[in-house]
Amino acid sequence: MVIKTDVLVIGAGPAGSTAAKHAASGGAKVLLMDKKSEIGAPKRCAEGVSNGGLESLGIEHNPRWITRELDGVRLIAPDGTNVWLTSDKVDLPEAGCILERKVFDKYMAMDAARAGAEIKIKTLATRMERNDEGFLVDAECMDEKFQIQAKIVIAADGPESRVARWAGLRTAVKPKDMESAAQFEMAGVQMENNKCIEFYFGSVAPGGYAWVFPKGDDIANVGLGILTTITDKSAYEHLLEFVKNCPATQNAQPVELNIGGDPVGGLPKKMATDNLMVVGDAAGQVNPLTGGGIISGMTGGMIAGKVAAEAIEENDFSEKKMKKYEKECRETIGDSINKYLKVKDYMMTLNDDELNSIADVFKDSDFEKVSTGELVKNLVKVSPKALIKLGKLF
């Protein structure tokens, strides 16, 4: 059996569903497939997003998928020095919220369905082959094996990024660019301010950071990401150590364990070829400093979906046409990804003592507003090393 479609989106994460929604709204016949039996579960995410990011995608807040509105950020140095960036201290704290990804991801897929996309769940893409009409994709749903003929494939298969590689793009991630992450969702978490997201820096999480993201008065995602190139312990082992020592989790109990990879090496050299675009984590569309990839992946998905609809209308699936996506993508999210890549590289050079002394200056600084960019600007002011490496960028 061969199913024919204009656009096949492989992977119904936030990036894929957004691509499917925009391609379908633009008039293309769209098929969105995911191997999971439940879109959005299990989550591989700490679930934090900025309100500005959702707004830029035209998505209105919905109580179905928001668990917590945030009031600020707390940074914790290795020696325990706190930097509080909350609304009582800062004029314009970065507004954000914590999602319930299991609901959010489904909601985004429902949006795609409402725009006209057909959805196949529990359906895995196993390989694909280029032909005159685009790609012929092998798929499996339980005991059924079939093929899908698509004029355009949008690869949205997350950090595995196998699909784009089937088309010859080089999207494999090196271990030094892949955060290995583990997280508990916990109850009984005693947060000093349960409307604040907390970041713990230093040797608690080599090559990354640990976080406590509140989802309720005493509920939080407690996790960390590490680089396995600089520690022998697994992310899970680091997590066990972290919750054993963190004051907030002394009486907390886990109700969920989440693990996963987060590609933090920046965008690959090529994100499009004839009849194919790659979006989201599969294309490294992640802020390399924070690991946040929901908004940037959805932005990539939105651009790809629009270009796909245009291409179908014009009957042009050439690499030249697909590159329109790549160009717009580099303009909207690529520049900032490149900048934060440099900040991440700089942060990696800091030892615990250096982090402590930066926190010591930061704790009494006046910030006008809090955003990742604003923090780096202040970092450049207090650290000569940061000034040399990042002064020109921020």
Partner 1 sequence: MIVKEWCMYCGECAGVCPRNLIEVRELTLKFTEEHCKECSLCIQVCPVKALEQE
Question: For binding to ligand FAD (CB under 6 A), which residues are involved?
Answer: 10-16, 33-36, 44-49, 124-125, 156-158, 160, 181, 183, 223, 258, 260, 262, 280-282, 286, 291-295, 297
Contact call for residue 172 and partner 1 (CB under 8 A)? yes
Distance CA 255, CA 70 (A): 22
Helix (H) or strand (E) holding 353: helix 352-362
Distance CA 99, CA 91 (A): 24
Six-digit token pair at 254?
């886990």
Least Cα distance to 72 among 52, 47, 97 occurs for: 97
Q: Cis omega (within 30 of 0) on the bond before 254?
A: no
Please report where in the chains the tokens 């298969």 appear, as a residue.
Answer: 157
204 neighbors 210 (Cβ within 8 angstroms): yes
Please report how the helices 372-382 and 352-362 are oriented relative to each other, as an axis angle in degrees rounded to 10: 100
Six-digit token pair at 50?
């900025």
Residue 359 binds which of partner 1, ligand FAD, none (CB < 5-8 A, kind-dependent): none
Out of 160, 274, 360, 374, which residue is the one contacting partner 1 (CB under 8 A)?
160
Q: Smaller CB distance to partner 1: residue 199 or 236?
A: 236
Span near partner 1 by CB under 8 A; candidates 208-216, 254-262, 340-348, 364-372: 254-262
Least Cα distance to 379 among 336, 350, 337, 352 occurs for: 350
Distinct helix (H) and strand (E) counts, the chain:
11, 18
Out of 27, 175, 247, 391, which residue is the one contacting partner 1 (CB under 8 A)?
175
Question: Least distance in Å: CB of 357 to ligand FAD?
Answer: 28
Residue 257 binds which of ligand FAD, partner 1, none (CB < 5-8 A, kind-dependent): partner 1
Residue 7 binds which of partner 1, ligand FAD, none (CB < 5-8 A, kind-dependent): none
Question: Least distance in Å: CB of 5 to ligand FAD?
Answer: 15
Out of 63, 174, 244, 269, which residue is the one contacting partner 1 (CB under 8 A)?
174
Residue 26 binds which of ligand FAD, partner 1, none (CB < 5-8 A, kind-dependent): none
Binding mask 120-149 for partner 1 (x = CB under 8 A): --x-x-x-----------------------
Question: Least distance in Å: CB of 178 to partner 1?
Answer: 6
204 neighbors 225 (Cβ within 8 angstroms): no
Distance of CA 237 to the CA centre of its chain: 23
Give the up-direction half-sphere exposure of residue 344: CA atoms within 13 A in the CB hemisphere: 27
Q: Smaller CB distance to ligand FAD: residue 281 or 328?
A: 281
List residues binding partner 1 (CB under 8 A).
Answer: 35-37, 42, 44, 122, 124, 126, 158-162, 165-166, 172-175, 178, 180-182, 228-229, 234-236, 257, 259-261, 263
